[in-house]
Amino acid sequence: MRARMDTVGAVRRLVPPERLTSRVTALEDAFVIGHFGLAAPRPDRPVVVNGLVDRAVELTPDDVRALPQRRVESVHECFGNPLAPGEWVRRAANLVWTGARLRDVLDLAGVQPDATSVWARGADHGEFGGETSPDYLKDLPVDAVLDRALVAYACNDTWLQADRGGPLRLVVPGFFGTNSVKWLTELTLADHRPEHLFTTRLYLRPGPDGRSVPVRELDVTSVLIDVTDGVARGWAWSSVPVTRVVVTADGRPVTAELERARGRAWQGFRATVGSARTITARATDALGRTQPTSGARNAVHELSL
């Protein structure tokens, strides 16, 4: 039952930002991060729903495709982001996911009232950080994701391939990619959080009271992708809509023209920068959060021509 690992060891396919020219990122330009490598599960691999449910169920990809279909365009972003000066490694893409709502999937099993946490397990396994792990596991607060998350079976209107986590993966629009469990095998309803390398030990950051919390909602950020004929273009996004992007052209601020938000997709922006050699972009979102100038994973993006 264990999935074969097609590649053993970490996989990273990254692209430079200048390839992110389309609103919807082509699959070949969308980053891939696989800490254990890529799994190669059977195309009919089912997902089991169990734990605090009325009845455990096992759903094949066909079963999931038979549920009401939902199509969501959303930013897909890895939390990992080395703070290497000048290195653009935000690992982001804007993709169109198709699948069933998590609520509709879980309703087939009947979520019991005391379930607060849904544990999503992936088939990938192997070694990371000196630990051998039999699977990948992420827990999510049930109420926050029931209507937001998809059990997805297609991406950019093609069936989900193994390198994208197919046949079925979880997708949580607005959350960092680490939550969108690839090669989904099991959804367990529980009344507590699980201990696992990827739940309580990695992908954490300080919360409001300083204690570690899981990496979930996206940060406000922006990326410059090109400058053509004196006009700089880029994308901006956050866990809520971005309301303003300020671009600087050799230090001179220019308020950028910003697309309106479309759900959880990224928003294009453009600004006239003339012949400037150093351009920066800084986004602010509807919650009033603005990108830090430095030292943070979502710091202001600077482009030197």
Does residue 36 belong to the site contacting a second copy (CB under 8 A)?
Answer: yes
Pairing of strands 92-101, 150-155: antiparallel
Q: 73: which 2 tokens?
A: 């365009």
Considering the complex, what minimum distance in angstroms separates the CB of residue 209 from a second copy?
A: 17
Does residue 89 belong to the site contacting a second copy (CB under 8 A)?
Answer: yes
Phi, psi of 52 (to 5 degrees): -80, 70
Q: Tell me which of 74, 178, 284, 291 binds a second copy, using CB under 8 A.
A: 178
Of 61 and 177, CB closest to a second copy: 177
Of 88 and 237, CB closest to a second copy: 88
Q: Tell me which of 18, 54, 62, 131 binds a second copy, using CB under 8 A.
A: 131
Of 37 and 110, CB closest to a second copy: 37
Of 36 and 269, CB closest to a second copy: 36
Does residue 302 belong to the site contacting a second copy (CB under 8 A)?
Answer: no
Considering the complex, what minimum distance in angstroms separates the CB of residue 138 from a second copy?
A: 11
Q: Residues 204-243 vs a second copy: string with x where CB under 8 A?
A: x----------x----------------------------
Does residue 13 belong to the site contacting a second copy (CB under 8 A)?
Answer: no
Q: Tell me which of 74, 81, 221, 298 binds a second copy, using CB under 8 A.
A: 81
Return the HEC string of the chain: CCCEECCCCCEEECCCHHHCCCCCCCHHHCCEEECCCCEECCCCCCEEEEECECCCEEECHHHHHCCCEEEEEEEEECCCCCCCCCCCCCCEEEEEEEEEEHHHHHHCCCECCCCCEEEEEECCCEEECCEEECCEEEEEEHHHHCCCCEEEEEECCEECCHHHCCCCEEECCCECHHHCCCCEEEEEEECCCCCCHHHHHCCEEECCCCCEEECCECCCEEEEEEEECCEEEEEEECCCCEEEEEEEECCEEEECEECCCCCECCEEEEEECCCCCEEEEEEEECCCCECCCCCCCCCCEEEEC
Is 172:103 a contact under the CB 8 Å cutoff?
no
Does residue 35 belong to the site contacting a second copy (CB under 8 A)?
Answer: yes
Q: Tell me which of 22, 132, 158, 255 binds a second copy, using CB under 8 A.
A: 132
As to burial, measured by CB atoms within 10 angstroms (0-12 exposed, 13-18 middle, 19+ buried), residue 244 is middle
Does residue 162 belong to the site contacting a second copy (CB under 8 A)?
Answer: no
Considering the complex, what minimum distance in angstroms separates the CB of residue 288 from a second copy?
A: 24
Considering the complex, what minimum distance in angstroms separates the CB of residue 8 from a second copy?
A: 5
Q: Which stretch binds a second copy (CB under 8 A): 80-88, 161-169, 273-281, 282-290?
A: 80-88
Does residue 122 belong to the site contacting a second copy (CB under 8 A)?
Answer: no
Q: Which stretch binds a second copy (CB under 8 A): 24-32, 77-85, 219-227, 281-289?
A: 77-85
Q: Which residues of the chain form contacts with a second copy (CB under 8 A)?
A: 5, 8-10, 12, 14, 35-36, 79-84, 87, 89, 125-132, 176, 178, 197-198, 201-204, 215, 297
